[in-house]
């Protein structure tokens, strides 16, 4: 983890808006969620598991930012994934690093999971049962964010 802010909008003590995009596939009668282990090249939560995520850039609404992050971090084209659900914003506080986040969760689905290709932000990626979000070493409140879009 970094000791300095990862983005100009990330100010200790002030909430930073981020999108967290859960990509799911239907497999063997169930749902699996795509998770990535954050690389050593990112500034925060290195080595932790997360979903596709990113800062909400100035002047951009969270949904538009979510589509941008999905395209950049999965290499899927816009017609290869679809929005299923948008969750309520989730306030998250990381007292250990004096950081606050407002997480905007989204659930997307793909029918072509074999087309997913990660970028430099991911050291590893895999499809998991949603229950594993509770047992993996994740970024703060990942399971809580997923619960807001799960819909089951």
Domain boundaries, the chain: 15-147
Encode pLDDT of 35-58 as tens digits: 999 998 988 888 999 999 999 999
Contacts of 20 (CB under 8 A, 6+ apart): 50, 51, 52, 53, 103, 104, 105, 106, 142, 145
And the tokens for 61? 């609404």
pTM given for the model = 0.89
Q: Does the domain formed by 15-147 have CATH 3.90.79.10?
A: yes
The confidence score (pLDDT) of residue 12 equals 52
Say if residues 117 and 107 touch (Cβ distance below 8 Å): no
Can you give the pLDDT at residue 28?
Answer: 75
Is residue 70 within 8 Å of 77, Cβ to Cβ? no
């Amino acid at each position: 983890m970094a000791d300095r802010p990862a983005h100009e909008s990330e100010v200790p003590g002030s909430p930073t808006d981020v999108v967290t995009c859960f990509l799911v596939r239907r497999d063997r009668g169930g749902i699996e969620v795509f998770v990535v282990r954050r690389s050593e090249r990112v500034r925060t939560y290195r080595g932790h598991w997360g979903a596709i995520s990113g800062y909400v850039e100035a002047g951009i609404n969270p949904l538009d930012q979510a589509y941008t992050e999905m395209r950049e971090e999965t290499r899927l084209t816009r017609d290869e994934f679809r929005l299923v659900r948008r969750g309520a914003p989730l306030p998250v506080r990381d007292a250990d690093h004096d950081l606050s986040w407002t997480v905007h969760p989204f659930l997307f689905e793909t029918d072509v999971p074999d087309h997913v290709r990660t970028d430099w932000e991911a050291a590893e990626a895999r499809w998991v049962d949603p229950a594993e979000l509770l047992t993996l070493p994740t970024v703060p409140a990942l399971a809580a964010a997923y619960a807001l879009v799960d819909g089951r």
